[in-house]
């Protein structure tokens, strides 16, 4: 009993400390009266979104906004409560990168009801009112990767496709673009397996495929994490296989520079973030914004 | 023949039958290179599962292993990229793993918190700590001497056999010895069999609990070191969901979740079944949508078969 009581006391003290810090922050916020931009990200457990966040923060600093960043941890219900929190904190505009295009609708409607403009980043929303959608075109990116493979293999050969999380829009779109580019060539996709956008799984799945397929000319992975895992698996063998990734994360770009990874499609997450803030700025100043703002993709090969 | 032995045989027979089916379906399965490949892939899960066996034998559970793996892997990669010697970095990582386990053990035995909840806490906190520590980005090792040496732990070979396989065998030999030949091992079984009786007969119950969680944490850290070395990179999201694979391996191996009954040899067989399953699904190019269904089905069949036996 005594022990329980003392633990409780310590917990209360700790909470008091945390709340103390929180309120101090709030007082400061009120003082400088900068407008706040809410940024809800599907996850911060992925370098891509971390870079996106950094791009947004840099732009906001330049334009004199404060950014409130919340992480939905890939959980739609966390996303909904994040939206509620932002509305309560009185942000002027919300940038959201949905965990899922279908389930985000209610979260967006909350903001619509509170008359706060919403912009979507990277992933779109299928319902709710969105002022503008800023994203790179994944189908175009997949196609870009496919065309590169077609060119390098001279329209002939066997390729592996490492897919992302089954059913995710990036998986579907990148796969569709890639396969579209292969149409009409003699390139055959001999194995198509998921590695869930994860590097460790990219390694093990590729190790297994290497056992199954005696002849492989190229690998297209739906993201760099899987591509880098696959590369590790191939390094253990003496086989010459070209690997193409997607996202151009720091690790992947370094690997391309070292001549290990053949290419990666650069979405420009920092651009998505900064364009998001720029567009939000326009919206707040009453200017009109385009419904869809595409962010350029580029193929990184050296 | 006593029942325990029969149970052990049963999992081995299951493993053999399962392997035979796969080798008929894919001629590539039973090749030396693929078997080494499966063993290397299984080493991670089985090292974690060895620690999990200790915990489950006492009637507990450890959900924090995946997060511990990620955190210790990141710490190890950080120290090596900062120029520390491989031996020291690995030792620190293992020590942190043991400390994390010790911490869970203290919450469980001193705080009287259920193991499921206590390790859920460590799991969540450590995942967060990993993200803070790595800033959400992978820590990737360069091509300096220490990094090269370190990567051998995961990617190297000795006499044609991958290093992680030796580590796995070593871990299981030690675990087998501890559980069957030492007093601590007998206490672990006794505690899982009947906690009240163990207490009354004068066993230091909380000391045993602290030890099993420390062992589990340290082995999770070892798995983290191996994965990090294999990839030459520590990823903040590494190990997510690994606790479930480890628990599945222990249960497939015939260890009871209620504690007190089971064996470490069963665990290695359980881990092999899971490893072979993933390998086979890839070899056969089964669509990713069906893979999850297949995995669930195999676990269900194995567990049901085990039930009938008892």
Mapping DSSP to helix (H, G, I), strand (E, B) and coil, where does residue B127 land?
A: helix
Which pLDDT value is given to residue A104? 87
Query: In this structure, are A146 and A253 located in the same domain?
Result: yes
Q: Inter-chain contact A251–B136, Cβ cutoff 8 Å?
A: no
Q: How far is residue B234 from each of residues A237, B75, B128, B130, B284, measured CA to CA in Å?
A: 22, 9, 15, 10, 30
Q: Does B124 touch chain A (CB under 8 A)?
A: no
Q: Inter-chain contact A193–B288, Cβ cutoff 8 Å?
A: yes
Task: Tell me if B310 is assigned to some domain.
Answer: no
Q: To the nearest whole angstrom, how far is the Cα of A57 from the nearest Cα of chain B?
A: 15
Q: Which two tokens stand for residue B226?
A: 């191996």
pLDDT classification of B45: cutoffs 50, 70, 90: very high
B26 DSSP assignment: -
Which pLDDT value is given to residue A22? 45
What's the CATH number where B209 sits?
1.10.3470
- Write the pLDDT tens digit of every residue in B18-28: 889 888 888 88
Query: In this structure, are A236 and A149 located in the same domain?
Result: yes
User: Kindly report the CA angle at B63 between B250 and B305, in degrees rounded to 5?
Assistant: 25
Total domains in chain A come to: 2
Task: Tell me if B271 is assigned to some domain.
Answer: yes
Task: Tell me if A17 is assigned to some domain.
Answer: no
Residues A280 and A119 sit within 8 Å (Cβ to Cβ): yes
Q: Inter-chain contact B235–A203, Cβ cutoff 8 Å?
A: no
Q: Which two tokens stand for residue A297?
A: 């993709």
Given A194, A204, A212, which is nearest B28 (Cβ)? A212
Contacting B with CB below 8 Å, chain A residues are: 7, 44-47, 49-50, 163, 166, 191-194, 198-200, 203-205, 207-209, 211-212, 225, 228-229, 232, 235-236, 250-251, 254
Q: CA-to-CA distance for A224 and B233, rounded, in angstroms? A: 13
pLDDT classification of B3: cutoffs 50, 70, 90: low
Task: Tell me if B22 is assigned to some domain.
Answer: no
Query: In this structure, are A107 and A150 located in the same domain?
Result: no
Task: Tell me if B27 is assigned to some domain.
Answer: no
Q: Which residues pair with B205 in a beta bridge?
A: none
The B residues from 101 to 120 touching A (CB cutoff 8 Å) are 111
Q: Which residues of B touch A45 (CB under 8 A)?
A: 131, 136, 236-237
A263 membership: H or E segment, kind and range? strand A263-266
Q: Does B231 touch chain A (CB under 8 A)?
A: yes
Q: Which residues of B touch A232 (CB under 8 A)?
A: 155, 230-232
Strand order in the sheet with A292-294: A66-71, A36-41, A93-96, A118-121, A132-135, A292-294
- Write the pLDDT tens digit of every residue in A157-193: 999 999 998 888 789 899 999 999 999 999 999 999 9
- Write the pLDDT tens digit of every residue in B234-252: 888 888 889 999 999 998 8
Rounded CA Rg of chain B: 19
Q: CA-to-CA distance for A152 and B287, rounded, in angstroms? A: 27
Q: Inter-chain contact A194–B288, Cβ cutoff 8 Å?
A: yes
Given A44, A191, A211, which is nearest B131 (Cβ)? A44
Query: In this structure, are A162 and A258 located in the same domain?
Result: yes
Query: In this structure, are A162 and A146 located in the same domain?
Result: yes
Task: Tell me if B13 is assigned to some domain.
Answer: no
- Write the pLDDT tens digit of every residue in A21-68: 444 444 444 444 688 999 999 988 888 899 999 999 999 999 999 999
Which pLDDT value is given to residue A23? 45
Q: Which residues of A touch B278 (CB under 8 A)?
A: 204, 208
Task: Tell me if B3 is assigned to some domain.
Answer: no
Rounded to two decimals, the ipTM of the complex is: 0.78
Q: CA-to-CA distance for A244 and A149, rounded, in angstroms? A: 8
Q: Which residues of B touch A228 (CB under 8 A)?
A: 231, 233
Q: Which residues of B touch A239 (CB under 8 A)?
A: none
Q: To the nearest whole angstrom, how far is the Cα of A232 from the nearest Cα of chain B?
A: 6
Q: Inter-chain contact B237–A45, Cβ cutoff 8 Å?
A: yes
Q: Inter-chain contact A208–B230, Cβ cutoff 8 Å?
A: no
A260 DSSP assignment: S
Q: Which residues of A touch B30 (CB under 8 A)?
A: none
Rounded CA Rg of chain A: 22
Half-sphere exposure of B228 (CA within 13 A, CB side): 36
Mean pLDDT of chain B: 89
Q: State the DSSP string of B192-231.
A: HH-HHHHHHTT--HHHHHHHHHHHHHHHHHHHHHHHHHHH
Task: Tell me if A168 is assigned to some domain.
Answer: yes
Q: Which residues of A touch B287 (CB under 8 A)?
A: 192
Query: In this structure, are A279 and A248 located in the same domain?
Result: no
Query: In this structure, are A286 and A253 located in the same domain?
Result: no
Q: Inter-chain contact A254–B140, Cβ cutoff 8 Å?
A: yes
Q: Which residues of B touch A250 (CB under 8 A)?
A: 137
CA closest to B31 among chain A residues: A211
Q: Inter-chain contact B140–A209, Cβ cutoff 8 Å?
A: no
Picking from B259, B282, B253, B279, the residue whose alpha carbon sits closest to that of residue B35 is B279
CA closest to B162 among chain A residues: A236
What's the CATH number where A160 sits?
3.40.50.2300
Query: In this structure, are A86 and A231 located in the same domain?
Result: no
Q: Inter-chain contact B238–A232, Cβ cutoff 8 Å?
A: no
Q: Does B291 touch chain A (CB under 8 A)?
A: yes
Q: CA-to-CA distance for B277 and B18, rounded, in angstroms? A: 9
Query: In this structure, are A171 and A222 located in the same domain?
Result: yes
Q: Which residues of A touch B34 (CB under 8 A)?
A: 211
Q: CA-to-CA distance for A195 and B226, rounded, in angstroms? A: 19
Q: To the nearest whole angstrom, how far is the Cα of A193 from the nearest Cα of chain B?
A: 6
Q: Which two tokens stand for residue A76?
A: 């739609």
Q: What are phi and psi of B197, to 5 degrees?
A: -60, -40
Q: Which two tokens stand for residue B54?
A: 């200790």
Which pLDDT value is given to residue B299? 77
Task: Tell me if B5 is assigned to some domain.
Answer: no
Q: CA-to-CA distance for A90 and A112, rounded, in angstroms? A: 13
| Domain encompassing residue A214 | 138-266
Q: Inter-chain contact B233–A194, Cβ cutoff 8 Å?
A: no
- Write the pLDDT tens digit of every residue in B148-207: 889 889 888 999 899 999 999 999 999 999 999 999 999 999 999 888 888 888 888 889
Q: CA-to-CA distance for B226 and A204, rounded, in angstroms? A: 14
Residues A55 and A272 sit within 8 Å (Cβ to Cβ): yes
Which pLDDT value is given to residue A28? 45
Total domains in chain B come to: 1
Task: Tell me if B26 is assigned to some domain.
Answer: no
Q: Inter-chain contact A232–B155, Cβ cutoff 8 Å?
A: yes
Query: In this structure, are A56 and A154 located in the same domain?
Result: no
Half-sphere exposure of B223 (CA within 13 A, CB side): 31
Residues 6+ apart with CB under 8 A from A262: A148, A152, A218, A242, A243, A244, A256, A301
Which pLDDT value is given to residue B303? 73
Q: Which two tokens stand for residue A137?
A: 């075109």
Task: Tell me if A112 is assigned to some domain.
Answer: yes
Q: CA-to-CA distance for B86 and B80, rounded, in angstroms? A: 6
Given A198, A203, A212, which is nearest B283 (Cβ)? A212
Residues B48 and B242 sit within 8 Å (Cβ to Cβ): yes
Task: Tell me if A6 is assigned to some domain.
Answer: no
Q: Inter-chain contact A204–B155, Cβ cutoff 8 Å?
A: no
Which pLDDT value is given to residue A7? 60
Q: To the nearest whole angstrom, how far is the Cα of B175 from the nearest Cα of chain A?
A: 26
Beta strands A36-41; A66-71: pairing state: parallel
Q: Does B155 touch chain A (CB under 8 A)?
A: yes
Query: In this structure, are A131 and A142 located in the same domain?
Result: no
Locate all alpha helices (DSSP H) within A134-268, ordered by sequence: 138-152, 169-182, 199-212, 224-235, 250-257
| Domain encompassing residue B151 | 36-305
Higher-confidence position of B216 and A298: B216
Query: In this structure, are A103 and A143 located in the same domain?
Result: no
């Amino acid at each position: 009993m005594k022990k329980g009581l003392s633990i409780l006391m310590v917990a209360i003290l700790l909470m008091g400390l945390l709340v103390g810090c929180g309120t101090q922050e709030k007082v400061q916020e009120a003082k400088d009266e900068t407008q706040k931009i809410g940024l809800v990200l599907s996850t911060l457990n992925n370098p891509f979104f971390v870079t996106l966040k950094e791009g947004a923060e840099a732009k906001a600093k330049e334009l004199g906004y404060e950014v409130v960043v919340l992480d939905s941890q890939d959980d739609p219900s966390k996303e909904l409560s994040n939206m509620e929190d932002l509305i309560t904190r009185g942000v002027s505009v919300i940038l959201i990168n949905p965990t899922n295009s279908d389930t985000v609708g209610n979260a967006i409607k909350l903001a619509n009801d509170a008359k706060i403009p919403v912009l979507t980043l990277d992933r779109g929303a299928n319902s709710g009112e969105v002022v503008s959608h800023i994203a790179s075109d994944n189908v175009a990116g997949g196609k870009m990767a496919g065309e590169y493979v077609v060119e390098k293999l001279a329209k002939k050969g066997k390729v592996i496709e490492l897919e992302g999380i089954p059913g995710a829009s990036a998986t579907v779109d990148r796969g569709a673009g890639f396969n579209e580019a292969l149409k009409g060539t003699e390139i055959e996709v001999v194995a198509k397996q998921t590695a869930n956008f994860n590097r460790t799984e990219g390694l093990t799945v590729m190790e297994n495929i290497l056992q199954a397929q005696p002849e492989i000319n190229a690998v297209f992975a739906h993201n760099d994490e899987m591509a880098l895992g696959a590369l590790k698996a191939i390094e253990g063998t003496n086989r010459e296989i070209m690997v193409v990734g997607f996202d151009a994360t720091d690790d992947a770009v370094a690997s391309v520079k070292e001549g290990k990874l053949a290419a990666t499609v650069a979405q420009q997450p920092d651009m998505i973030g900064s364009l998001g803030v720029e567009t939000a700025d326009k919206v707040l100043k009453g200017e009109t914004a385009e419904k869809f703002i595409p962010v350029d993709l580029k193929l990184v090969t050296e | 023949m006593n029942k325990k032995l029969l149970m052990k045989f049963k999992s081995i027979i299951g493993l053999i039958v399962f392997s035979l089916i796969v080798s008929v379906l894919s001629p590539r399965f039973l090749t030396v290179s693929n078997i080494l490949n499966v063993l290397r892939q299984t080493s991670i899960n089985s090292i974690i599962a060895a620690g999990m066996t200790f915990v489950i034998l006492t009637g507990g559970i450890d959900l924090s292993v995946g997060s511990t793996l990620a955190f210790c892997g990141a710490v190890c990669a950080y120290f090596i990229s900062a120029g520390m010697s491989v031996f020291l970095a690995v030792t620190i990582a293992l020590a942190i793993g043991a400390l994390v386990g010790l911490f869970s053990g203290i919450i469980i035995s001193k705080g009287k918190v259920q193991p499921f909840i206590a390790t859920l806490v460590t799991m969540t906190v450590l995942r967060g700590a990993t993200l803070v520590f790595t800033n959400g980005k992978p820590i990737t090792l360069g091509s300096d001497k220490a990094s090269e040496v370190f990567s051998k732990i995961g990617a190297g070979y000795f006499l044609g056999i991958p290093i992680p396989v030796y580590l796995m065998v070593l871990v299981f030999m030690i675990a087998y010895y501890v559980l069957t030949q030492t007093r601590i091992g007998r206490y672990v079984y006794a505690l899982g069999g009947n906690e009240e009786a163990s207490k009354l007969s004068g066993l230091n119950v909380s000391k045993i609990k602290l030890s099993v969680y420390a062992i589990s944490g340290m082995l999770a850290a070892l798995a983290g070191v191996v994965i990090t070395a294999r990839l030459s990179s520590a990823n903040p999201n590494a190990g997510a969901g690994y606790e479930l694979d480890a628990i599945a391996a222990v249960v497939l191996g015939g260890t009871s979740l209620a504690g007190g009954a089971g064996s470490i040899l069963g665990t290695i067989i359980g881990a092999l079944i899971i490893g072979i399953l993933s390998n086979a699904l890839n070899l056969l190019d089964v669509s990713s949508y069906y893979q999850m269904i297949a995995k669930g089905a195999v676990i269900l069949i194995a567990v049901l078969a085990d039930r009938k036996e008892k």
